[in-house]
């Protein structure tokens, strides 16, 4: 790292210009007395003492004897500076948010036009990433194809789940039927803690973040504008979208196995029941699991016999009622 780069980084952590000059000089020459520092950097005694004090408080230098200053191992000091900047950033964020709220209350009263923002195609993915990264409590989602971007592993969701953000997703059956999407996106998210359910269709492509705003993809039927999205802020419209999600969630079938499944249930049987509850065809199940129709039929026969039922519908009902899914 060059001296210029170090200067930039240390200044970002809150050190002053003279503090950084002194620290870099000490790194290049070694321990020095106050008078040697003042002479080499053309500083007054007062400025030298102030810079030494600042670096000492930051945990970057220490006095080794009566008047000699030397750099010390910086990890602890740098962590302290970083935490201080994080605290200042949070305070600044809170102050800016409160100031903006006061502005909207007293200067610029919200109009209906402010409740809805159109996000055009080039910026949709960026805005989704921004809003989802900022979620702290819960993300609600309707998921269905077609997808306007290449869909692979959803690393952001897995990361959010790891830091305590809950996810409830209702998938359209068509999403589950896509082998790559199911294997690369849906299954890893469920394994990471996503609560997933499935419906034959979902009413709209939708994501709701912490109950404070929603992103809605425009109708797939309007193909010329389907790649744009609407951002809905807190309003009765957002309340209606949350209500729509909750009613759909109650009507949807769970996609993941619960904690009560019989210990004798083999991994392939667990996956079959999971997909069976989603309502997709036997052909699609076999394709998703990479097995033959004959192998699927043999496993279904074993499961129906164990459950004491005669068809796949009754098996799905049995699995739901008995905590298999």
| pLDDT confidence of residue 111 | 58
> pLDDT value at position 143?
92
Pick the more confident residue, 261 or 108. Answer: 108
* pLDDT at position 224: 43
Tokens of 211: 């109950």
Tell me the fold of 113-254: Endonuclease; Chain A (3.30.870)
Domain boundaries, given as residue ranges, for the chain: 1-108, 113-254, 267-321
Cβ–Cβ < 8 Å for 189, 196: yes
Residue 179 banded pLDDT, cuts 50, 70, 90 = confident
Phi, psi of 312 (to 5 degrees): -65, -35
CATH number for the 1-108 domain, one of 1.10.10.10, 3.40.50.1010, 3.10.105.10, 1.10.490.130?
1.10.10.10
Q: How many CB atoms lie within 10 A of CB 112?
A: 8
The single residue listed with the structure tokens 């029941």 is 273
Give tens-digit pLDDT for 28-75: 889 999 899 989 999 998 999 999 988 888 888 888 877 789 888 888
Least confident residue range of 13-22, 102-111, 301-310: 102-111
User: Percent of the chain scored above 90 by pLDDT?
Assistant: 21
Q: H or E segment at 168?
A: strand 166-172
Pick 322 or 203 by higher pLDDT. 203
Compute the distance between CA of residue 228 and CA of residue 118 in angstroms, rounded to an integer.
7
Q: Which long-range contacts (CB under 8 A, 24 or more apart) does 128-134 make?
A: 128/207, 128/215, 128/229, 129/156, 131/207, 131/209, 131/213, 131/215, 132/156, 132/157, 132/160, 132/207, 132/209, 133/160, 134/209
When pLDDT is averaged across residues 126-153 and rounded to a whole number, the result is: 84
Any idea which residue has 């910026």 for tokens? 123
Average pLDDT over residues 169-173: 91
Q: Which residue has better confidence, 93 or 20?
A: 20
Q: What pTM value is reported for the model?
A: 0.55
Tell me, yes or no, if the two domains 1-108 and 267-321 fold the same way: yes
pLDDT of residue 222: 45
249 versus 107: the higher-pLDDT residue is: 249
Q: Which of 250, 290, 245 is nearest to 272 (CA)?
A: 290
Q: What angle do CA 209, 149, 199 make, to 5 degrees?
A: 60
Higher confidence at residue 74 or residue 109? Answer: 74
Segment 235-242 shows an average pLDDT of 91
Look at residue 310 in the predicted model and tell me its pLDDT: 75
The stretch 95-123 carries a mean pLDDT of 72
pLDDT given for residue 225 in this prediction: 44
| Mean pLDDT over the full length of the chain | 82
Tell me how far apart the alpha carbons of residues 195 and 249 are, in angstroms, rounded to a whole number: 10
What is the fold of 267-321?
A: Arc Repressor Mutant, subunit A (1.10.10)
> Which of 94 and 31 is assigned the larger pLDDT?
31
Residue 148's pLDDT band (cuts 50, 70, 90): low
pLDDT number for residue 314 = 73
Mean pLDDT of 9-37: 88
Per-residue pLDDT at 93: 81
């Amino acid at each position: 790292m060059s001296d210029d780069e170090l200067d930039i980084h240390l200044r970002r952590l809150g050190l002053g210009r003279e503090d950084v000059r002194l620290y870099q000089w000490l790194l290049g020459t070694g321990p020095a007395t106050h008078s040697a520092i003042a002479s080499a950097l053309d500083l007054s005694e007062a400025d030298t003492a102030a810079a030494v004090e600042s670096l000492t408080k930051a945990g970057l230098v220490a006095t080794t004897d009566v008047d000699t200053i030397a750099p010390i191992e910086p990890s602890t000091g740098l962590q302290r500076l970083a935490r201080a900047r994080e605290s200042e950033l949070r305070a600044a964020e809170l102050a800016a948010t409160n100031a903006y709220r006061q502005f909207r209350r007293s200067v610029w009263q919200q109009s209906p036009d402010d409740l809805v923002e159109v996000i055009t195609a080039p910026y949709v993915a960026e805005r989704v990433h921004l809003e989802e990264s900022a979620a702290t409590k819960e993300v609600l989602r309707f998921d269905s194809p077609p997808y306007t971007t290449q869909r692979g592993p959803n690393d952001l969701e897995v990361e959010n789940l790891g830091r305590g953000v809950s996810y409830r997703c209702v998938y359209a059956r068509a999403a589950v039927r896509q082998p790559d999407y199911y294997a690369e996106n849906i299954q890893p998210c469920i394994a990471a803690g996503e609560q997933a359910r499935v419906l034959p269709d979902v009413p709209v492509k939708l994501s709701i973040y912490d109950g404070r705003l929603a992103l809605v993809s425009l109708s797939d039927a309007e193909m010329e504008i389907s790649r744009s999205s609407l951002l809905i802020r807190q309003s009765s419209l957002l309340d209606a979208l949350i209500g729509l999600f909750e009613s759909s969630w109650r009507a949807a079938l769970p996609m993941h196995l619960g904690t009560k499944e019989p210990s004798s249930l083999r991994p392939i049987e667990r996956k079959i029941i999971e997909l069976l509850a989603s309502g997709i065809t036997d052909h699609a199940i076999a394709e998703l699991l990479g097995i033959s129709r004959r192998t699927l039929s043999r496993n279904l026969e074993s499961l129906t016999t164990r459950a004491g039922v005669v068809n796949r519908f009754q098996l799905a009902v049995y699995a739901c009622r008995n905590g298999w899914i």
